[in-house]
Amino acid sequence: MTWTAKPIKHKGENRIAVYFDKNTELIARIKHVEGARWSQQNTAWHIPDTTENRERFKIEPLTNSLPSSEGIANIEKFKQWLRSKRYSESTLTTYSEALKSFLVFYREKPIADITNEDVIIYNNEFILKNNLSASYQNQIVNALKLFFRTLQNKMMVVDTIHRPKRAKLLPNVLSKEEVKLILNAHSNIKHKMMLSLIYSCGLRCGELLALQPIHIDSIRNIVLLKNAKGKKDRIVPLSPKILEMLRDYYKVYKPKTYLFEGQTIGLQYDARSLQLILKQALQKSGITKPATLHWLRHSYATHLLENGTDLRYIQELLGHSSSKTTEIYTHVSTKSIQQIKSPFDDL
């Protein structure tokens, strides 16, 4: 069994990418490394860039890769505060890693002495110099603002920190024909069911995997999404066709705790396996677009809009806090655009 490992930057984080030919034993071993994730973009597993992991994979140690002892203690306090406020684990990881990066940069300086000017210097001398992404820059600013306000009782004037403008990217949308090909690509009823439910209800990947049989209300024809993004419950309509598919699926699999369980009864289906199911569906249907599970949610919203559904209802169905987030779909809906006649036709 051979592998290679090297440090990389992944979404602004220091990570170690581990490359090896597909091997069940190695995959099982790396899954047990805390923080291990699969990157489809890099086609490699990657793990946190820590001293322990560098030793494990025989990579030259990082010098000064850890904050001071005061910094480490404050990061732990920040984590505890975030947990007490019920922030999600993903936000907790993002914010604590952002704070860690900042405190490594100022490891020789007492935290009480750090000023707004230091944040600006960090932005210019570390983030911009290393060409890190705008989203990472915003994460850093948000994390530092929260940390200093809550644990240090110090306000950082974020307006003086040059926060980047977010790129105004349009959501990726599949046509109804493409969605149909994807949903019909699998003969396995569980695989077909999961992809169909994401599209038919506009679900996020995590929302689908958190579903339990009791969340399906077949009498009222609704799906109850508990504790979705932003700690908000919401309901979405359940298609009669989907309900029939769910009944057939239930007869075969008889799920216990979660609607979709993996090989271990009572545990959620693995998110990476679900992504692989979509990848296989794309290959089977001959679609070459780099579609993700979230494309199905975008397509659901756009197709609703093209069918004449009011934008306010779409906002509720998607669980958006702001109508501005939902309005982005008006820019990708082609129904009205296709009716516009080009002046070229009159020449």
Sequence-ordered alpha helix ranges (H) in the chain: 24-31, 51-56, 69-84, 89-105, 116-122, 134-150, 176-183, 189-201, 205-209, 240-253, 271-285, 293-306, 311-318, 323-327, 335-338
The catalytically annotated residue of 29, 54, 190, 320 is: 320
The catalytically annotated residue of 46, 186, 297, 298 is: 297
- CB-side neighbour CA atoms (13 Å) of 33: 22
For residue 46, indicate whether it is catalytic: no
Q: Report whether 296 contacts 199 (CB < 8 A).
A: yes
The catalytically annotated residue of 136, 199, 249, 329 is: 329
Angle, CA 9 vertex, CA 277 and CA 26 arms, to 5°: 50
Query: Which candidate, 184, 171, 169, 170, places its Cα nearest to that of 297?
Result: 171
Distance CA 233, CA 221 (A): 17
DSSP strand pairing (44-48 vs 37-39): antiparallel
Q: What is the dihedral of CA 249, 250, 252, 254, to 10 degrees?
A: 140
For residue 331, indicate whether it is catalytic: no
For residue 106, indicate whether it is catalytic: no
- The span from the first CA to the last CA of the chain, in angstroms, equals 67
The catalytically annotated residue of 204, 215, 226, 284 is: 204
According to DSSP, residue 34 is labeled: T
For residue 329, indicate whether it is catalytic: yes
The catalytically annotated residue of 54, 229, 234, 279 is: 229
Distance CA 264, CA 227 (A): 23
By CB atoms closer than 10 A (0-12, 13-18, 19+), residue 320 is: middle
Between the alpha carbon of residue 291 and those of residues 66, 172, 179, the distances in Å are 38, 8, 10
For residue 15, indicate whether it is catalytic: no
For residue 284, indicate whether it is catalytic: no
User: CB neighbours (10 Å) of residue 91?
Assistant: 14
Q: Which residues are annotated as catalytic?
A: 204, 229, 294, 297, 320, 329
